[in-house]
Amino acid sequence: MDDVYVKHGAFKQRPKLPGQVVLVFQGGGALGAYQAGVYQALHEIGIEPDWVVGTSIGAIHAAIIAGNEVGERYDRIKEFWARLERKPQWHETLFGERAAATAAYLATLTQGINGYYSPNHAIAFGGLHAPVGVERAAFYTIEDFRKTVAGVVDFARIDGRQTRLTVGAVNVRTGKMHYFDSRNIPITLDHVLASGALPPGFPAIRIDGDPYWDGGLYSNTPIEVVFDDNPRRDSVVFTVQIFPISGAEPASVMQVLSRQIDIQYASRADSHIPRQEHIHQLRHMVRELVRMLPEDKRNSPEVKEMAGYGCGTFMHIVRINANPPPDEDYLREIDFTTSGINRRWLAGYEDTMRTLERRPWEAPIDPMVGVAVHDSDAPDQAPSLAKAQ
């Protein structure tokens, strides 16, 4: 892929951030190119995550970041997308952009994508009722993708735990979300691939005897794993939203399908954040009540145990929100064309740079709330109290 992006040059030094840096990526197939632009912006000004969390294509990006030295991360992301990119064909110059896009979609559906997936001939010959097993019951195979991901991720480096990695996948049998965390276990290629095994397109990946599917089926923006982390730490959490939660009323069947996908895979952070605020208030009260006790009481084993539930940490949630153009439709997740990748990449880069220039983490936080939310597409303004609604 052509490197058409230039350094912004607006930052003379890395901004000082109040706490650990966490990067949370959604799933979304080809829409993940937006995430690549977000990371480029962060990388250019020297903001590297202490912890990366992701599902599906977000898990791939997270693994690339955690599985490479800082100086190599951006190059590996470019290499990854270059392997998936569908180059322009001769008919694009003859029949126009819309016809070319339709042709590209058809080719992607029927032929697959080099370096990613290819048609599953076992299904083609045996039919949809063929008992091929959960690890083969899919429209495509992903053997090429194994090689692609393995070529851009050093799993030994992930095991070194310099950058924490968490990827989410759903247990096919139990239907429950499972987060595989490098803090607790060695992360392997199968863990990362399981997080992107979206049925019925891709087959389940078996881990420790159980089959797993794409974590996006359960939580496409796995920010709850950050909220529920223990012990809590002051944090600046960059969460990348590639599916808009709100949108225009659809007027055609294709628009209905597109809007359905937006709602299905958009972030649920708006429901998680009020719960987190309430929990933080209770923890804050515990901490203050412990402080009010006489010193001899505070030092007792029973009170020390209760004091462990107290908390005074602060968390800035910086949401980088993609705003897709109105002409994008239901098939945008398989748009691996050069123009599609470049357009989303550049949008992610520019949206992030505009957000970083505002330095939203400098906004004060109500100690009783403990959480501030900053949206990239909010009206441009100086840092101010940003209590979640």
Note down pLDDT in tens along the chain; length 389 residues: 555 444 555 556 788 899 999 999 999 999 999 999 999 999 999 999 999 999 999 999 999 999 999 999 999 999 999 999 987 665 555 556 666 667 777 888 888 898 999 999 887 777 888 888 999 999 999 999 999 999 999 999 999 999 999 999 999 999 999 999 999 999 999 999 999 999 999 999 999 999 999 998 988 888 889 988 988 899 999 999 998 888 888 888 888 888 888 888 887 767 777 887 888 888 888 888 888 988 888 888 888 888 888 888 889 999 999 988 877 777 888 889 898 999 999 999 999 999 999 999 998 888 888 888 999 987 754 443 333 32
For residue 117, give the DSSP letter: B
Task: Give residue 365's pLDDT.
Answer: 86
The rounded distance, in Å, linking the Cα atoms of 383 and 361 is 8
- CB 44, CB 6: distance < 8 Å: no
113, β-bridge pairs = 117
SS3 category, 51:
strand
The dihedrals phi and psi of 214, each to the nearest 5 degrees, come to: -50, 130
Would you say the pTM of this structure is higher than 0.85?
yes
Distances (CA, A) of 280 to 78, 286, 368, 371, 387: 39, 10, 7, 8, 13
Task: Give residue 4's pLDDT.
Answer: 47
The C-alpha angle 284, 220, 322, rounded to 5 degrees, equals: 95
The rounded distance, in Å, linking the Cα atoms of 280 and 146 is 41
User: For residue 76, which amino acid is it?
Assistant: R
- Token pair listed for 15: 């901004």
User: For residue 41, which amino acid is it?
Assistant: A
With tokens 């901004």, the residue in question is 15
Task: Give residue 389's pLDDT.
Answer: 28
